[in-house]
Chain A
Amino acid sequence: MPHRRAFRSGKAIRDKLVALFLLGVALFTPPLLLLFAGGGRLGGIPVLYLYIFGAWIVLTLLLALVVERGERSPGRGDTP
């Protein structure tokens, strides 16, 4: 039943996206941000600034990975 499998892979992608959303919420809310808000600097650049952009880039990469892999192999969405 190919449509079934396509549906399942769509659902797997959705689940992963929701997980990434939650990861993003965790990354960009105070408890984690507070760790870097002290004003320290790394190589001259404030760590807060580095952390936010780093986390942002990682999150975007993960999003790309999830949707692009899911799209290229429809039906194999279950395999990580």
Chain B
Amino acid sequence: MSYGLPTLISFLYLMVLFAIAYRGDQRASAVGGAATSPWVYSLSLAVYCTSWTFFGSVGLASQRGIMFLPIYIGPTLMAALWPMVVGKMVRIGRAERITSIADFISSRYGKSHTVGALVTVIAIIGIVPYISLQLKAVSDTFHLLVGDPLVHPAVAKAPVPFDTAFHVTLILTAFTILFGARRIDASEHHRGMVNAIAFESLVKLVSFMAVGALVTYSFRDGLAELFDAAAARPEIAGLFTVSGAGDWGSWLSLTLLSMMAIICLPRQFQVAVVENVDEGHVRQATWLFPLYLILINLFVLPIALAGRLEFAGLGVDPDTYVLALPLARESATFAMIAFLGGLSAATGMVIVETIALATMFSNYIAMPVLVRTYMAAQPKQESLSGIVLAIRRLAIAGFLFLGYLYARLTGENFTLVGIGLMSFAAVAQFAPALLGGLFWRGGSKAGALAGLGSGFLVWAYTLFLPSLARSGVLPMEFTERGLFGIELLKPGALFGLAGMEAVPHALLWSMMANVGFYVLVSLVTRQSAIERIQASLFVDSTAVPGGTSQFWRGNATISDLQALAARFVGAEHAEAAFAEFSRSRRFNPSRDEANPELVEFTERLLAGAIGTATARVVVASVAKGDIVSLHEVMEILDENSQVIAYSHKLEQKSRELETTTAELRAAYEKLTELSRLKDEFIATVTHELRTPLTSIRSFSEILFDNPEVDVAQRQEFLGIIIKESERLTRLINQVLDLAKLEDGTVNWDMAETELVQTVDDAASSVGQLFKDKGVTLEVIVPSAPVWLLTDRDRFSQVVINLLSNAVKFCEPDSGRVRLTLGDSAAGITIAVSDNGPGIPPEAQQKVFEKFQQVGDTMTGKPAGTGLGLTICRNIVTHLGGRIWVDSHPGHGATFSFFLPRTQG
């Protein structure tokens, strides 16, 4: 293939990319940056997959089998924790207007310049090799595509102006500046860039899967055939297995490493946190991103195997199999597709990574210097936004050329994966300070500096410097014999820890130093006031009630603040922002004195453009005064936590009160009901008492007023008076009895009682009643004695009540009553049947209620007091049994009760 076509297609591709970004930016400014889809967010996260994934995974898989996978499994595991970790970072990032990972860590540790600068330096040194990897991949594959294929091109040997990698660097520099540093934005979002990155992710996925499918199903006869062929070669079959503890050690450490990298890589932080516009997208990315990783890894092993089968002994670089396979089978279209996929993987990474690095560099290295020198010299200089823009452009160019330099210096000594892992290990140093700062309030600035610094030094000594030494930039001596010839300081086997691969070894030692110093120094140092405030903001992640502006003391004029903002974000934007602020807070702009809230607002406005630490410094230069003292900060924070604690307590109390109220209401309702019943009872009792009283009184009066009443009549009247008095006594006795039963003051005399005798005694005690009325009583009892634990007197009372009740309703002379005693294992049953008129069904439920008398109460005289059955029910219930009635009107009634043998 000639130079012309691939060059043209590459340029067209970059143009399309730019058009997407440009449209995205236009639309974002039109609708205010809102309305993006979760798909775009998840796809933009796939900037994780660079040319390392696209070409390097196949290279690694062809040598080590499944060992290419932990780099993608780690992020999958981390994705499960995203709503907790990234979600929290997004919330904080939005509130604090975070622009980069350096900004985030610096802001957490008291908006410290030193921390931000250290993070920036680590990121730059760690990432430059990674950028060089992308340049190398693009230029190598381009060579392969156009030049003499299947032999390794000697790129590094060409003089710089004719070096393809150099051309690639130039082109990418121009494009990255177009994407990310066209103009200075007040906002930290790059809507257009994110859209372009999402598109690139789609392109590389489709391209890789297309090549994978082509290789598997067209060049070979499907997966099974491919694996069979591979298994037939002993040297390839080994790839299907994992052997040895060392391999598993690598597997674990690579998983861990990639888990940290997925949140600590500056470009991942950029797309996941800084560019996030909707927290809900994080949730969908939890599964969309792992899905992407699965898809893009599906064909890695098949391509690797096909490559080894195809190129056995030909010396083709395994990192180029993806492209070399279509080329070897002369499929120009698919070769071009593979190249474009690789190009999109590389450009996506380069664009986001260098923009993120440039932001960090300008905010934490260039800005502090600029602010200190330039602003002091010319305090009333017009605008700095032009200078900021220039710094960013230069930084982008600088990083790309550093990358080129690294690629040229290290030449062909490394695989894509080797370089990538080194960068991963560098950014992993951020993890303790980042995650610790997110969940541990005690992490301090000194601790973060100590951890980051020591971890970085160990990383540089064990991984970075050896990589330079191996490519001849540094003398090899220290890697082979240890620093100063001390064996224990050998970079590859620090303190004698030999036998590990370089990356796990470096990760182990650097993490030990990092975490160790971070925790130790945090524990022994004291936090300053601002560290305390920021720690509280980050860890609790909910806004401090009352706002953070309460921490700031100082005075400034509105015009000063606006002028300051204008210098960094442009006059037009500053004016609009200030107007919006005074409108939303109903702030009266006639007074020129700014309140703490406005000072804080200005700081945030600036933070989006120049980073939190610098923003704090420049605002402080205008707003005289400072943060309140540590003592006061503690007081405010304590007050706030107390307020929160109080409100929790109050909430609990009010819940308790609610339940108590409900209980009280229920009790009150019950009481009202009882009181109503009592009233009814008293009314009825009084009524029942009055009837016999009235009759006694009337007959006494007749006798008193008419002394001449003859003896026979007098006898009759006195008889009535005696009968009514008896009834009255009986009624009062029963009322007292019932009252005692109901309030539980009756003494129960429980004893083993022989029931046959008891029933007989009860029957004979009412025998006179039966004889008087001429009613037959038939008692049927078992021949054997029946024993039951019960109260003998109460038991007899029930039987007597039932018998006298029965006799009352029988017709004189023809009446018949039958009493039966039934005995079973469960208990005893007494039934009293009569042949009276019976009880209508609707009355059967009520006969046991107080003063419920069955019969025609209008004409017939009440036959009883209306309390007998109620007393019976009370006694039986108390003894653990039950009482009931069966009756068919006209055929008599049967009152029965049952007492169980075992009582609780």
Contact = CB atoms under 8 A, between A and B. Distances in A.
Contacts of A28: 70, 73, 77, 255
A77 to B, nearest CB: 13
Interface in B17-72: 66, 69-70
A30 B286 CA distance: 24
A18 B81 contact: yes
Interface string B81-106: 10110000000000000000000000
B225 interface: yes
Given A41-B227, A63-B286, A63-B287, A21 B242 contact: no
B223 A67 contact: no
A52 B66 contact: yes
Given A17-B80, A18-B80, A45 B73 contact: no
A3 to B, nearest CB: 12
B301 A49 contact: yes
A2 interface: no
Contact of A30 (B73, B224, B252): B252
Nearest to A31: B248
A43 B73 contact: no
B227 A24 contact: no
A14 B81 CA distance: 8
A56 B242 contact: no
Interface stretch (B114-122, B195-203, B290-298): B290-298
B138 to A, nearest CB: 29
A41 B231 CA distance: 10
A44 B294 CA distance: 21
B710 interface: no
A38 interface: yes
Nearest to A23: B80
A50 to B, nearest CB: 10
A42 B280 CA distance: 41
A53 B290 CA distance: 11
B848 interface: no
Given A13-B83, A17-B81, A37-B242, A45 B290 contact: no
Interface in A28-62: 28-30, 33, 37-39, 41, 43-46, 48-49, 52-53, 56-57, 59-61
B603 to A, nearest CB: 31
Contact of B227 (A21, A45, A57, A61): A45
Given A41-B240, A67-B283, A59 B224 contact: no
A30 B66 contact: no
Interface string B212-255: 00000000000111011001000001001111000010011001
B84 A56 contact: no
Contacts of B241: 37-39, 46, 48
Interface residues of A, number: 35
B252 A52 contact: no
Interface of B, helix, strand, loop or mixed by DSSP: helix
- Most chain B C-beta atoms within 10 Å of own C-beta, residue among A17, A25, A71: A17
A29 B252 contact: yes
A36 to B, nearest CB: 9
Contacts of B283: 67, 70-71
A56 B297 CA distance: 11
Interface in B354-377: none
B227 A59 contact: no
A77 B651 CA distance: 23
- Most chain B C-beta atoms within 10 Å of own C-beta, residue among A13, A18, A41, A57: A41
A48 B240 contact: yes
A30 B227 CA distance: 24
Contacts of A21: 77, 80-81
B84 A14 contact: yes
Contacts of A6: none
Contacts of A33: 242, 248, 251
B79 interface: yes
22 contacts: A18-B80, A18-B84, A21-B81, A24-B80, A25-B77, A28-B73, A28-B77, A30-B248, A37-B241, A39-B240, A41-B240, A44-B223, A44-B227, A52-B73, A53-B298, A56-B290, A60-B290, A60-B291, A60-B294, A63-B286, A64-B287, A68-B284
Interface of B: 66, 69-70, 73, 76-77, 79-81, 83-84, 223-225, 227-228, 231, 237, 240-243, 248, 251-252, 255, 280, 283-284, 286-287, 290-291, 294, 298, 301
Given A37-B243, A48-B240, 20 more contacts: A13-B83, A14-B83, A18-B84, A21-B81, A28-B70, A28-B77, A30-B248, A33-B242, A38-B241, A39-B240, A44-B228, A45-B227, A48-B66, A49-B301, A59-B76, A60-B291, A63-B287, A67-B283, A67-B284, A70-B283
